[in-house]
Amino acid sequence: MENPHYSVVEIDGPEAEALQAGVPVDKGRGRSAKQFTWVLLLRAHRAAGCLASLAAVAFIKGFLVLSLLALAVELTAYWNGWHLRRPSLTVPELHVPEVEEIQGWAHSAYLSWMSFRADYICRLIEFLSKSCVLLFVIQSLDRLVLCIGCFWIKLKKIKPRIEGDPFREGSGYVHPMVLVQIPMCNEMEGNPELGLVQARWSFVNTDENLLTRLQNINLCFHFEVEQQVNGVFLNFFGFNGTAGVWRIEALEGSGGWLERTTVEDMDIAVRAHLNGWKFIFLNDVKVLCELPESYEAYRKQQHRWHSGPMHLFRLCLPDIITAKISSWKKANLILLFFLLRKLILPFYSFTLFCVILPLTMFVPEAELPIWVICYVPVCMSFLNILPSPRSFPFIVPYLLFENTMSVTKFNAMVSGLFKLGSSYEWIVTKKSGRSSELDLFIQSGKETKGLSLGQIQKQLPDGELIENNMCKEQHDKVPHDVKKANKVYKKELVLSMLLLTAAARSLLSAQGIHFYFLLFQGVSFLLVGLDLIGEQIS
């Protein structure tokens, strides 16, 4: 399944269906035994992916049913006055009633459940919660170090500089006759180790809706902090797939483009780094792009962005271990680039805030501390928003939405790690088409202020002007931004019910901050599950 050399159309064509049904086909168009085997393997792979997805949904639904049952039991105990006093510093153990205090068989069964919960379930939850908290602290420290590195770059005004003087020949200078604005080949710059120059993305539709605003927060942190810091101090970062210039020797020497994963841009970057090439990130050079405005498109994009790196990690791990690079570069690739930022982050975010936190409401002996669910997440959110200060009013929606997206990211991470069917899925992200050449030129900023449309068009090349006119005519004829009915996302809806159920249980025991967090997080899952965030564009 790594590189079958057959297109999806070939494997899924009518001949393949005929072969599976046992119907003979023409000899000229017949399939070989090897191709038939690939058909069966592909079908089996897709079936395994569907079964895994169904198992995940069944697990979440079963978890919800148990939570509702536990809530009913807790409500009964609460109204009958059976609730036990919570442990405190002065009274560390739960108060167990004496025999004469037991009120019938139901009360006795409830006390047995309390004893079993405290002796067995509590220990398991405490182990999981401590593990997730440890991962949470490590990931938070990584974010803090990246932010300190970004602050140091700004303080020292560190920027990529050309080594030597490429235009000096002997005692004089030879300057180019034209200004090269979009380099399409190797530049004249006295660094042969440089393989990639990556520019920053900027977006034309940042303020379109709440979804695009929240995406902008993540991507601003990714470019200005992660990419810039890694570029300055490590000479390595993941290629973003566009807005970059490659040296042809780096591409050819690293094996070229491979279709073995859905993140071929990250794949070539990792292979080039293993071959000793250095990368430069230009934070001051901004290339206009467009953000997906519908949750459906964003969800599929995030699935590809999180399943692909895990799939790539499986393939690249032997090459990383045996590569002729320094040990600290190997450690950075394995521990930080892949494990911490691609695997651990979605794992602990989903497990800690969507599984363990609701569980602790029904097992109060394993309570999570307030700093885990409040103080540290808020501080990390502040750090994430620093590169985009205009987004500070959206800090609470951002925190809730990131936890909501952890379901999709966790599912994608598992899919890529175990090479399930969805890890091979590559769907082009749907966008509204606001980033046409003319739109980008208009959005490009200060140089277009005060210019009329005719003056702007005069500055465009003839070919682009003709193409823009043709696009405008088609744009006028065909309706765009056609709204469609909202989709329903079952996993998000089930988790919203689970979190709201846990919030109701938290209200019984008067856990203030836990109740509000679970309530708002449950509402966030509900809004996303009903597709009430972003636009619905066909």
107 or 528: which leads in pLDDT: 528
What does the block give as tokens for 92? 């560390």
Query: Which secondary structure element, helix H or strand E, spans residue 195, and what is its range?
Result: strand 194-203
pLDDT band at 19 (very low <50, low <70, confident <90, very high): very low
Task: Please report where in the chains the tokens 């593990």 appear, as a residue.
Answer: 131
How many CB atoms within 10 Å of residue 363?
A: 18
Taking 3-state DSSP, the helix, strand and coil percentages for the chain, each rounded to the nearest 5, stand at 65, 5, 30
pLDDT digits (tens, 9 = 90+) for 126-178: 898 899 999 999 999 999 999 999 999 999 999 887 776 666 666 666 665 55
Q: What percent of the chain has pLDDT over 70?
A: 71
Residue 414, pLDDT > 60, answer yes
Residue 241, pLDDT > 50, answer yes
Whole-number pLDDT of residue 10: 44
| Residues 204, 194 contacting (CB under 8 angstroms) | no
Whole-number pLDDT of residue 5: 41
**C-alpha torsion 416→417→420→423, nearest 10:** 10
pLDDT band at 530 (very low <50, low <70, confident <90, very high): very high
**C-alpha torsion 184→185→191→193, nearest 10:** 100
SS3 letters for 369-402?
CHHHHHHHHHHHHHHHHCCCHHHHHHHHHHHHHH
| Residues 403, 521 contacting (CB under 8 angstroms) | yes
3-class SS of residue 283: strand
Exposure b/e, 444-465, CB count within 10 A at least 16 = b: eeeeeeeeeeeebeeeeeeeeb
Whole-number pLDDT of residue 26: 52
Residue 486, pLDDT > 90, answer no
How many CB atoms within 10 Å of residue 181?
A: 5
State the burial class of residue 279 (Cβ atoms within 10 Å of its Cβ: 0-12, 13-18, 19+): buried
How many CB atoms within 10 Å of residue 378?
A: 14
Whole-number pLDDT of residue 76: 78
Whole-number pLDDT of residue 40: 75
Query: Which secondary structure element, helix H or strand E, spans residue 202, and what is its range?
Result: strand 194-203
Task: Please report where in the chains the tokens 């969507």 appear, as a residue.
Answer: 354
Whole-number pLDDT of residue 192: 86
Residue 466, pLDDT > 60, answer no
What is the pTM assigned to this prediction?
0.75
Residue 90, pLDDT > 70, answer no
Residues 6+ apart with CB under 8 A from 91: 85
Query: Which secondary structure element, helix H or strand E, spans residue 471, and what is its range?
Result: helix 462-477
Q: How far apart are the first and last CA of the chain?
A: 32
Nearest of 198, 197, 202, 182 to residue 444 by alpha carbon: 202
| Residues 242, 429 contacting (CB under 8 angstroms) | no
Query: Which secondary structure element, helix H or strand E, spans residue 289, and what is its range?
Result: strand 278-289
Residue 432, pLDDT > 90, answer no
Nearest of 114, 125, 107, 121 to residue 85 by alpha carbon: 114
| Residues 491, 57 contacting (CB under 8 angstroms) | yes
Residue 484, pLDDT > 90, answer no
DSSP H helices, 188-294, are 210-221, 228-233, 248-253, 264-274
What does the block give as tokens for 30? 């017949």
Question: Where is average pLDDT lowest: 134-138, 357-361, 425-429?
Answer: 425-429
Cα–Cα dist 216/205, whole Å: 9
**What pairing do the DSSP bridges indicate for beta strands 172-173 and 244-246?**
unpaired
Residue 468, pLDDT > 80, answer no
Average pLDDT taken over every residue of the chain: 79
Average pLDDT rounded to a whole number, residues 38-50: 71
pLDDT band at 77 (very low <50, low <70, confident <90, very high): confident
Nearest of 94, 396, 359 to residue 217 by alpha carbon: 396
What does the block give as tokens for 222? 């990714």
Residues 6+ apart with CB under 8 A from 411: 53, 56, 303, 491
Average pLDDT rounded to a whole number, residues 242-252: 90
Whole-number pLDDT of residue 9: 41
Exposure b/e, 123-149, CB count within 10 A at least 16 = b: eebbebbeebbebbeebeebbeebbeb
Cα–Cα dist 352/127, whole Å: 12
Whole-number pLDDT of residue 159: 86
Highest mean pLDDT among 316-320, 464-468, 483-487: 316-320
**CA-based angle 223:226:229, to the nearest 5?**
105
28 or 177: which leads in pLDDT: 177
Whole-number pLDDT of residue 119: 82
Residue 385, pLDDT > 50, answer yes
State the burial class of residue 94 (Cβ atoms within 10 Å of its Cβ: 0-12, 13-18, 19+): middle
pLDDT band at 319 (very low <50, low <70, confident <90, very high): very high
Average pLDDT rounded to a whole number, residues 107-116: 80
